[in-house]
A and B are shown apart, each in its own frame.
Chain A
Amino acid sequence: MNAFSKPSLPVRRGLIGLAGIMALLLAWFFWIVLGPGPMSFAGGSRVTLANYHGVDPTGVPSELAHASLLKKGEYLTRAADCGACHTARGGVPFAGGLGFVLPFGTIYSANITPDKDTGIGTWSDASFLNALHKGIDDEGVHLYPAMPYASYTSMTDADALAIKAYLFSLKPIHAVVRDNTLVFPFNQRRLMGVWSVLFNSDKRFEPNATRSPQWNRGAYLAESLEHCSECHTPRTIFQSLNNRRKFAGATQAGWRAYNITSDANSGVGAWSDADLAKYLSSGNAAGHGSAGGPMGEAVDKSLSYLVPSDIAAIVTYLRSVPAISTSDLPAPKATPAPASYKEGVVADYDPRGKKVFEGACASCHGWTGVSPVTHYATLTGVRAVNDPTAINVAETVINGTDYMPAFGQGYSNDEIAAVANYVTARFGVSPSRITGKDVAALRKQASN
Chain B
Amino acid sequence: MTVHITPKLPKALSRRTVLQTGAAAGGGLLLGFQSPFAAASIPNATDGAPAPVGPFAPDAFIRIDRAGHVTFIMPQAEMGQGVYTAHAMIIAEELDAAFETVSVEASPPSDALYGNPVFGIQATGNSNSVRAFWTKLRQAGASARAMLVQAAAAQWKVDPAGCTASNSEVLHTASGRKLAYGALADAAAKLTPPAKPVLKNPKDFKLIGKPLKRLDTPDKVNGKALYGIDMLPAGVKFATLAASPVFGGKVAHVDDSAAKTIPGVRQIVVLDDLVAVVGDHMWAAKTGLSALAITWDEGANAHVDSAQVWKDIKAASEHEGAIAKAVGDAKKALQEGDPFEAHYELPFLSHAPMEPINCTVSLRADGCDIWVGTQVAARTQAAVAKLTGLPLAKITVHNQLLGGGFGRRLDVDGIEKSVRIAQKVDGPIKVVWTREEDIQHDFYRPVYYDRITATLKDGRIDGWKHRITGSSVMARWFPLGFSHGIDGDGVDSAVDEPYEIPNMRVEFLRHEPPAVPTGFWRGVGPNNNVFAIESFIDELAKKAGKDPVDFRLAMLAKKTPRLASALKLAARKAGWGNPLSPRRGRGVAVQVSFASFIATIAEVEVDHDGNIRVHRITSAVDTGIAVNPDSIVAQLQGGLIFGTTAALYGEIIIDKGRVQQSNFNNYRMLRIDEAPEINVHLIKSGEAPGGIGETGTTAAPPALRNAIFAATGIPLRRLPFDREVLAGRKRV
Contacts and interface: CB of A to CB of B under 8 A. Distances in A.
A–B interface present (Cβ within 8 A): yes
Contact of A409 (B660, B671, B723): B660
Contacts, number: 36
Nearest to A352: B611
A204 interface: no
B647 to A, nearest CB: 15
B483 interface: no
Given A355-B674, A358-B673, A412-B611, A406 B666 contact: yes
Interface in A382-405: 400, 405
Q: Which of A355, A407, A410, A412 has the most CB of B within 10 A?
A: A410
Nearest to B607: A414
Given A355-B674, A359-B671, A406-B666, A412 B661 contact: no
B477 interface: no
Interface of A: 90, 352, 355, 358-360, 400, 405-412, 414, 436
A406 B673 contact: no
A359 B673 contact: yes
B666 A410 contact: yes
Given A409-B666, A410-B665, A414-B723, 18 more contacts: A90-B656, A358-B673, A359-B673, A359-B674, A360-B665, A400-B665, A405-B663, A405-B666, A406-B666, A407-B665, A407-B666, A409-B665, A410-B664, A410-B668, A411-B668, A412-B611, A412-B723, A436-B609
A interface, by DSSP: helix, strand, loop or mixed? loop
A128 to B, nearest CB: 27
A360 B668 CA distance: 10
Contacts of A355: 673-674
A33 B656 CA distance: 45
Contacts of B310: none
Contacts of A412: 610-611, 723
B340 interface: no
Query: Nearest 7 pairs between A and B by C-beta?
Result: A405-B665, A409-B666, A410-B666, A410-B668, A359-B671, A407-B665, A414-B609
Contacts of B656: 90
20 contacts: A355-B673, A355-B674, A358-B673, A359-B674, A360-B665, A405-B663, A405-B665, A405-B666, A406-B665, A406-B666, A407-B665, A407-B666, A409-B661, A409-B665, A409-B666, A410-B665, A410-B667, A411-B668, A414-B611, A414-B723
Interface in B501-544: none
Contacts of A436: 609
B649 interface: yes
Contacts of A90: 656
Q: How large is the interface on B (under 10, 10 to 19, 20 to 34, 35 or more residues)?
A: 10 to 19
Interface string B603-619: 00000011100000000
A412 B666 CA distance: 11
Contacts of B610: 412
A406 B610 CA distance: 22
A414 B674 CA distance: 16
A440 to B, nearest CB: 9
A408 B665 CA distance: 8
A47 B656 CA distance: 53
Contacts of B673: 355, 358-359
A445 B660 CA distance: 20
A360 B666 CA distance: 11
A414 B724 CA distance: 11
Interface in B654-684: 656, 660-661, 663-668, 671, 673-674
A410 B668 CA distance: 6
A408 B667 CA distance: 11
Contacts of A360: 665
B71 to A, nearest CB: 42
Contacts of A406: 665-666
A5 B666 CA distance: 76
A407 B661 CA distance: 11
Contacts of B666: 405-410
Nearest to B729: A440
A90 to B, nearest CB: 8
A71 to B, nearest CB: 16
Nearest to B658: A90
B255 to A, nearest CB: 12
Nearest to B649: A410
A163 B723 CA distance: 49
Nearest to B245: A90
Contacts of B663: 405
A207 to B, nearest CB: 37
A405 B665 CA distance: 6
Contacts of A411: 668
Contacts of B660: 409
A35 B346 CA distance: 59
Contacts of B665: 360, 400, 405-407, 409-410
A355 B661 CA distance: 22
A410 B648 CA distance: 11
Contacts of B671: 359
Contacts of A352: 611
A409 B667 CA distance: 8
A408 B611 CA distance: 16
Contacts of A400: 665
A406 B665 CA distance: 7
A414 B665 CA distance: 16
